[in-house]
Amino acid sequence: MDPSIERDNSCFCCGIDNDRGFHLQFSYPAQGEAESRFLVPEWCAGWKGVTHGGFLTMLMDELMAHACNAFAASAVTADMAVKFIKPVPTGSTVTIKGQAESPRGRVIATKASILAEDGTALAEASARFIVMAKK
């Protein structure tokens, strides 16, 4: 993989220059943690009224990547496992949380969760990211 991955503002999850993007905003409550809240659009359905699992996976991947920012200038997903716990209704607001551990060599272990407004876990993920550029 090319270690010269260049950041820009065109990411469809968080890029401010992507007019079709979701423009996610993040908070960083502690080192290696990232959080975001998101109102799931109706058009992100897999089944009627239920958010598509691939869309939920993308949100967790994004939050884990942002959690990695505490330890790396850039990191990319190597592998990811997802557990869907409860259906996520479209039109609902969810909180997405990502956590990253200190790197072991070039590998950062991460985890993420999607929570309902009452704090109920709806989906969880774990992943390994590869550091492409150190801080």
Number of domains the chain is built from? 1
Residues 6+ apart with CB under 8 A from 94: 37, 38, 40, 59, 88, 114, 115, 116, 117, 122
Q: What is the pLDDT of residue 3?
A: 47
For the chain, 135 residues long, the average pLDDT of each consecutive 10-residue run is 60 82 91 97 96 98 96 95 98 98 96 98 98 90
C-alpha closest to that of 40 among 119, 93, 111: 93
Q: What is the pLDDT of residue 6?
A: 61
Task: Give the CATH number of the domain where residue 110 resides.
Answer: 3.10.129.10
- The answer as to whether 95 is a domain residue is yes
Helix segments in the chain, DSSP class H: 53-68
Task: Tally the C-alpha atoms within 13 A of residue 61's C-alpha that lie toward its C-beta.
Answer: 17
Q: What is the pLDDT of residue 16?
A: 84
Taking the CB of residue 66, how many other CB atoms lie within 10 A of it? 24
Q: What is the pLDDT of residue 121?
A: 98
Domain limits at 115?
33-134
